Amino acid sequence: MDLPYLTSALPGIGGVLRTVPEDFVVDEVPAYAASGAGDHVFVRIEKRGLTTAQVVQRISRTLGVHERDIGVAGMKDRHAVTRQWLSLPPPVTPEQALALALDDVRVLEAARHGHKLRTGHVRANRFVLRVRGVAPGAGVAEARARAILEVLARSPGAPNWYGEQRFGREGDNAARGRELLAGGKPPRDKKLAR
């Protein structure tokens, strides 16, 4: 996908992104804190090298609850270290959640809340990106990065682009969505239909 760059006239810093999961860290900021009371359990997890759906599936199997009953505010990258919030249904307790032992997943916090977490209940996502193998020379990459940031700090600022993952594996999500809106038949896969 070729997206335009506001800084295309400036030299880049070079380098490579995402050589290891730790090079791309995402920390989800919730829209609100768990209340401390209620039937559901909000958990803050850290996952490494897994999709959010894979984590939900593993937790579901381990705790014996339905995947559909686990709430997720947003999907997070697989090739990264991500921290995000999920909600677990009753009768799961905070103690059970904190005791979960899953490969590449750690439960960092658990607290009760009155309802299931829903898609979009996210205030923001914070990112830490490590670029390896940047332009050689003392301070060259840093000076170039500062020049790029200076341009992006001016109006209109950095565009809110999103990556290829939003367009689907075959790049046809928009066409399929248009077809659905025109009265087409929904896909058999329930998650895809949603």
Active site residues: 77
Q: Are 90 and 36 in contact (CB under 8 A)?
A: no
First-to-last alpha carbon distance for the chain, in angstroms, is 25
CA distance readout (Å), 122 to 45, 51, 74, 90, 148 = 15, 17, 7, 22, 28
Amino acid at 78: R
- Cα atoms found within 13 Å of the Cα of residue 71, Cβ hemisphere only: 22
- Cα atoms found within 13 Å of the Cα of residue 181, Cβ hemisphere only: 6
Q: Which of these, 113, 112, 122, lies nearest to 83 by C-alpha position?
A: 122
Q: Are 40 and 113 in contact (CB under 8 A)?
A: yes
